[in-house]
Amino acid sequence: MSLPYSTAIPVRTGAERATLVRRTYGLVSVGVLLTVLGVAFGFSQPSVMNAVAAHPFISFLFAMAPLFLVMRAPREFPRNVALTGLFTFIEGVWLSPLIALVERAAPGTTSQAALLTLSTFAVLSLYAVFSRRDFSAWGSFFMVGLWVLIAASLVNMFFYSATASLWLAAGTILVFGGLLVFDTWRIVRSGLYGEDDYVAAAVQIYLDLLNLFLAILQLLGANRRRN
């Protein structure tokens, strides 16, 4: 989900903006790498992966705890970077049972989903950077879409439908694709963030990427199972 961040100090110069962008996407890259390492750690520790699979809700809360702490004080270096790294690593551990399940059913799906996610990320990011449009209205629009997705997902938990799950995954790609454009625009165009607000900005982009990846993974996995 996209996290609001209203206490930022606006960027005032091109140099500050360049620093913000460099720090933000550097931290996003490190976060993705740590998530991959978290998945690998889960694979190497079957007992940990089985515990996560047996208690997904509790393990999810453990993953969210560092994120909650870092967003309370996102400018306190190096605590902010360390907590962000811990969050992304635990997120990988939390994802490891899902990745293992998908790979057993359809080998190679994860790498294909990762490639498609990175391609989508590149295209949407370049669109946000080079477009002259004002994307300020996209935030509220796609946040409404996010809450609709959450409500529909909860309903689908109780009245499960495989077809509805696929539609929800497609909706997730649409919503988080839109949020990715909006969040990128806020970083590089809007002047909302200051150069020391890179952690909050990086968390936004990371969460957009993560949700895009999970939705693409679900669609690819379902398609391979049908074939």
Rounded to an integer, what distance in angstroms lies between the CA atom of residue 4 and that of residue 73? 14
Q: Rounded to whole angstroms, what are the CA distances from 71 to 35, 76, 78?
A: 19, 10, 13
How much is the pLDDT for 75? Answer: 85
Rounded to an integer, what distance in angstroms lies between the CA atom of residue 190 and that of residue 135? 9
Question: Is-cis flag, bond preceding 4, omega within 30?
Answer: no
Model pTM? Answer: 0.89
How much is the pLDDT for 110? Answer: 93
Q: Tokens for 209, please give them.
A: 């990427």
User: H or E stretch including 211?
Assistant: helix 198-226
Q: Tokens for 81, please give them.
A: 């970077």
In a domain, 7, yes or no: no
Rounded to an integer, what distance in angstroms lies between the CA atom of residue 82 and that of residue 191? 26
In a domain, 2, yes or no: no
How much is the pLDDT for 4? Answer: 45
Rounded to an integer, what distance in angstroms lies between the CA atom of residue 32 and that of residue 209? 9
In a domain, 9, yes or no: no
In a domain, 38, yes or no: yes
- Total domains present in the chain: 1
- Distant-in-sequence, close-in-space partners of 171: CB < 8 Å, separation ≥ 6: 145, 148, 149, 152
Secondary structure E strands in 48-185: none
Contact 196, 12 (CB under 8 A): no
In a domain, 121, yes or no: yes
How much is the pLDDT for 6? Answer: 43
Q: Tokens for 186, please give them.
A: 């806020």
Treating both helix axes as pointing N-terminal to C-terminal, what angle do 198-226 and 162-185 enclose, rounded to 10 degrees?
A: 150
In a domain, 175, yes or no: yes
Rounded to an integer, what distance in angstroms lies between the CA atom of residue 116 and that of residue 128? 18
In a domain, 49, yes or no: yes
Going residue by residue through the chain, which has 227 residues, state the pLDDT in tens, using 9 for 90 and above.
445 444 455 555 678 888 899 999 999 999 999 999 999 999 999 999 999 999 988 888 888 999 998 888 888 889 999 999 999 999 999 999 999 999 988 888 999 999 999 999 999 999 998 888 888 889 888 989 999 998 988 888 788 787 888 889 999 999 999 999 999 999 987 677 888 889 999 999 999 999 999 999 999 887 665 55
In a domain, 33, yes or no: yes
The parent domain of residue 103 ranges over 14-226
Task: Give the closest residue to 177 by CA, choosing from 203, 146, 217.
Answer: 146
